[in-house]
Amino acid sequence: MSGLYFRGKLAYVRAFAPAGGALVITPSGGLCPPDTRVDLARLAEWADVGISAAEPRYREPLVRDARALAERLPRRAEVVLLGSVATGKYVEPLLEALGSRLVFPRDFVGRGDMSRGALMLRSAAASRELTYMAVSANLHRGARPPRLAPRARTS
């Protein structure tokens, strides 16, 4: 787990998501708000479930919650995935429930977790929302973009 990646996600959703608009994908609990308390029993439950689109204990709660989300949202609303789109573990279940409404930041293509985390932190700090594209656009993998320039250090 990357602390930078999750700090970046939280900063980004705090800057750009509507109030209450952020949800976290869990291993067996579907979608939960990011401030959900997690105790040792829940952690143990999650540790027992593989994160795979083929794992029903992961997939079924995720599809259930994503479908419920799709029903609650305005018809033209998009759902932004801030996770990896390079593998099917997030994309397949979410596309099943959300279809063309599922989008992701275009600048994620070719970046690893740490780079995506830094990108989201910088975007939030600059109040500059990233540009989104449809997940179904089949551009889930691409050439690695240039490294982000080092940030100036502040005292």
DSSP secondary structure letter of residue 83: S
106 pLDDT band, cuts 50/70/90, is very high
What are the domain boundaries of the chain? Answer: 3-137
So what's the pLDDT on residue 145? 57
At residue 144, the pLDDT reads: 59
Q: Tell me the average pLDDT across 63-73.
A: 96
**DSSP strand pairing (79-80 vs 102-105):** parallel
Q: What is the pLDDT of residues 8-51, one digit of tens each?
A: 999 999 999 988 889 999 999 999 999 999 999 999 999 999 99
| 123 pLDDT tier (thresholds 50, 70, 90) | very high
Question: Nearest CA to 62 among 43, 78, 74, 46?
Answer: 46
What integer best gives the mean pLDDT of the chain?
A: 89
Q: What is the mean pLDDT of residues 73-92?
A: 91
Would you say the pTM of this structure is higher than 0.75?
A: yes
pLDDT higher than 60, residue 143: no
27 contacts 51 by C-beta, under 8 angstroms? yes
